[in-house]
Structure 1
Amino acid sequence: MKALRTAATSTVGPYGVVAELGQGGMGRVLLGSAPDGRLVAVKLVHEPLADDDGFRARFRREVAASKAVSGAYTAAVVDADPDAPTPWLASVFVPGPSLHEALTTVGALPEPAVLRLAAGLASALTHIHRAGLVHRDLKPSNVLLTDDGPRVIDFGIVRAVSESDELTRTGWLVGSPAFMSPEQADGGAVGPAGDVFALGSVVVAAATGASPFVGATTLHTLTNIVRHDPRLAGVPDAVRRIVEPCLAKDPADRPTPAAVLASIGQIAPAVRPWPQDVHQLIVRRQAEVGEFLEPGRDATVLVTGPPPRSTRVEARARRPRRWIAAAALVVVLALAGALVWSVWPSERPARPAPSQQAPVIERIGTDMTGTSPVTSLMVSPDGAVITARFEDRTVQSWDSATQDQIGQILGSFSGDGVRHAVFAPDNRTLVTARVEGEDEDQRIVVEHWDLTTGRQPVGPFSPDLTGEDRFYGNVWPMLSPDGRVLAVSSDYDRQIRLWDVNARRSLGGVEERSAWGFSPDSRTLITSGLAGWDVATRRKIAEGISLPDDEQLRSYVYTDDGATQLTVSPDRSTDAEDAVVRWWDTASRNQLRQPLTIATSAERIALSPDGRRLATVDAMTGATVWDLDTGNRIGEKIPGVTAVAFTPNGILVTGNNDNAIQLWRLPAG
């Protein structure tokens, strides 16, 4: 457990709801209190699954079997109601860190702890299989560490969810690639032997810090699992002897969990089974629950989640809506273009001196790990979901409060993958655009994904392209922030073509070669030089900005209300890798304040919600956060960063070249 937030639901069955822990693969996860005061983890099924009669039948069978599982190393199912309007399941609450959190926080475990873990997992699978269940998704985040050993969670539920209609369709991968068995990676049936293979991979990860099959991309990982031997360098001999039989490609060649337990032998008793650092994590989790349950504590405070949505909506409503007046103002000011230059400083500003002592940027939560280096980050409008796009053009999502993965991996692993993605206004639907085919046979496919269920609430949309309307050369699809407009550029087009995604009709074209983006309200298409085009009429309503001769626009970002644009361009006046930040009134194209020079190439940028902090990415040195009021750097550089974003409450999100996504709290001020 990494964060607690107040739950809107007061009771589920006989359980009083204490807090919401986040999202799981099945639905919402709540912290509940039994009538006798015991704490339980209550899982509520997503509404689309609850409406599926086939799912309810499977869920009913899996719950009945799960109740039969007993053992020291499982979080037992204590109650459930498959027939409730919103089906739910309650299991023993375990206030300990996951193995994933332990590995990312304190590193690989020593040999005695790894052997103890292997024995616990083998014992847990023995009890799970004896009840007629197959876990199907055994991975470090589904293994919790407690004072007396590991606990396996979510057994028996994955099959009920994963066999739901359309969940296994192309582009939605069920399971965690790095810990799949070869038969699961190859799309085959998964039996108890698949869990044994996953056990071997999890134990290797505990000993080395990584799956023995993980590759640079998801496709690479799956290929390694199906075709290649595991990487076991650094695995102690005693552990290697146990895991090698588990990792056999043929399920028939793998031992049973009972045989694995026998091969491990007697584990010496210990009062503290894990390294000291892991026990400190356990104590911290227990303290968090204790503090939250303390009488009089304000239960509305979120540890890493966003502020209440109503507060943000009211704040936005008070901001001036200046973009709406852009067209009229630009027409007037176009006749007096010299006014744009009237606010230029007489000479280039000097870079401000760095602060004497940089404030500390605090890393919070635990790493979220993807399939390859991160190329872009998105945060849902309410801040509850973080989504990353990776070099292999797959997409994954996480709960921002708990850092638990939501749903599975999106992307076509044999095709071109996701080119662009945005959140729909409902905060849970991801709209993606991908390219299929080659040369004159290329086509764009826009899809809507419910992140929590894997379903597509509407069918794919693909613009009808025939004859002269075909695309030639490279094609670049771009979606508006609300996911309702598709803009497409290509090598040989002399215009950007637009479509209404919801109405599934053409909107015509704009006489420009390439799209740069959209305004925050999705009504204006931004093209080269930050020229603005009205999407509805395809008319130019804003001329581009004018930079000095020695500057070339590299990137831009809007303030939250759309009234101001910040631009970043390389400073060509010196040999240093500096960048110039400028503030522009969106409507008039006048500069609003003196430019600022910062010591970074600023290849990618993100602006904090209050407009006062700018996060920049330099491919050579990583990410830097700047105070735009003073020009000073905030904290130290964060190495290895390839993408940045902010949540609505000002938490910095970074994506890294080591596949990780991390959260950072900036100092107040």
Structure 2
Amino acid sequence: MQPLTSTDPTEIGPHQVLGRLGAGGMGAVYLARTPDRRLAALKVIHRELAASSDFQARFGREVRTAQMVRGPYTPAVIAAEPYGPTPWMATEYVPGPTLKAAVTANGPFPETSLRVLALGLAQALQSVHAAGLMHRDLKPGNVLLSPRGPQVIDFGIARAVEGTVLTKTGQAFGTPAYASPETVLGREQTPASDLFSLAGVVLYAAQGHPPFGTKPAADVLTRVVSSEPDLSNLPPGSLRELITRCLAKDPADRPTADELVRVLSAEPLPPAEHGWLPANVHRSIDFHQHELHTVSSTVPTLGASLPQTTATGRRARTWLVAGAATMALGLVAGLGTVLHGPWGNAADDGTDAAEESTTEQENLPDSIEGTLYGLEFTEDGDSLFVQTAQGLTLWDWRESEATRNLGDASLNFTTTPSGEAVGVSGDLIVVLDQNQEQVADLLVDEPDNMDNFRFYEAVTATPDGTILAVQRTVEHDEYLLREWDWRSDETTDRELDAPVHALDHSPSGTHLAITHGAGEMDDPDAPAESEHTQTEGSADYVSVVDTDSEDTVLRFPEEGEESVGAGLYDVAFSPDGSLVAIAEGGERVLVYDLEEDEVLHELTPRGLVNGMTFDNDGTYLFTGAVTRATSPVGGSQWDLETGEEVESGNTLIYEQPTLHPERETLVVADSSVEETTLIFLDPDTLTDTHQFN
């Protein structure tokens, strides 16, 4: 870490800059303190790149996608501002060296460390690929080391700079020494390309140099395409066999990340009491942590807030910074189902301080600050919940004024039919009444030890206000569907046998849509609550369960059908609960009639779907579309009787359309500009009535 110079900023957005971590082709990276006193690695983009509107559009899209990556092996995206003269992105700070620095200083890793490294990288790629990304530049410099396992950084940003950064003659996109043959030849890249790079990173750790050399670049690229690497430093066994297959020239011959995880996790790992890293690397991490403590303790905190007590006398616990709730806690938990002991006992990263802080009610924002995550009207329609990377706020949408701060944002936020607001922050569910006062909270079960760390991942509410949440147990990757009657404080738990990323309850209460994680159950037509085991090799999918019979009435995509969206889904129910719309990867929308048990329409939007809502009587479906800075693309209004587009292409139906409960307005977001703008439309004419940012 380097001290700040006279040309370095002291503040970036709401973050206080503490020191310089490094610099690269895209910009500089700083150690920063967030408003809730967490520490972050803050990447600031060069002004010459930021001047390109095409770059800003791509960077903004990739930042939003990267914020959807969930896993304990990729540092959480805390907040970002991809637009304006100085775009930036903040991620959780990992106080450890890169793999490149560790190997350079201490030499090759032993086999036991290599196995954990390969396993952690494979599980990181699982998370990246599930979010619809390819890393495309996995290399030792993009792998940070910590006692809880390897942490992969810079996912999602590679795609953003493609076509913007000038490449050198003879150099393929990415890093030549770790690029796949198809990348070198200019052919289509797939997730298998990342597996080739993974093998190169593991070989680097095993032998101290890249598998195909480092220079000259043209010779390296030739060797990548036509030569075989030296694997003599890898002892015979399953790891060597897997790495050999990952380095196959034909992508079809490489294993998937799922297969790597399945094979490596079934075999012995280092004893927990010794950790997974060589002793010298552990000492290097100790140095990083000491340096971190020194820097953070000597720089005074700007604008620190004081704790606030609730009516019950307990200290209020606020929601974690947006984009990080489940991911940050996954990082604290360690390497999940496979790694134990010291990997599950990470050093304090400031999460406790975030949970203990509260948002003061003064200094209300006068604009929409930070990346937008969600919009919800209150039950009476007079106010609008706005959820961004800077926090959850309540707005008088008619007067364009913020009326209340409700705490730091959480990816998991919903409202009940009776008007309560429900937020999930890792191990805590908080319920706010119609006056936005906290009336109940529920902690996860007390863990036996850190290996059994538990947290909440998804939340929804039934028509009677009962809260459904998914509780995840890290050690064995167990999932519970928890039903919580917050008024009587009674809970009922049911086991789930597949990961769950999201829950959506129909307004009628007759159906529950479950967005499942990677992998599929043996019987895909069985309800998620049944006892079935997970098998590898499937993309994410959505199942719709009849809440009375607990039968699965719909699976999308169907078993054996290829997913077009890499596991990214959006689900919306019609007001009467008879129809469900499922957008897959933003590229197609299935409208299913649950009463007639048939597909009503399969829609093909012209833009990338970002949010959906039905009209109040269920006759129309509004699908939002991601906007572009240079030529905004609107979403569509669909006639559900004919399946035809009523309006499309150049409409103002941008991102996250949300209909007023009395159909007074349709609000959408435009994030193609420096500050997110909320646009309020007449639902009949789709004309702009007013807007604010």
Is the TM value for this pair above 0.5? no
TM-score under structure 1 length normalisation: 0.43
TM-score under structure 2 length normalisation: 0.41
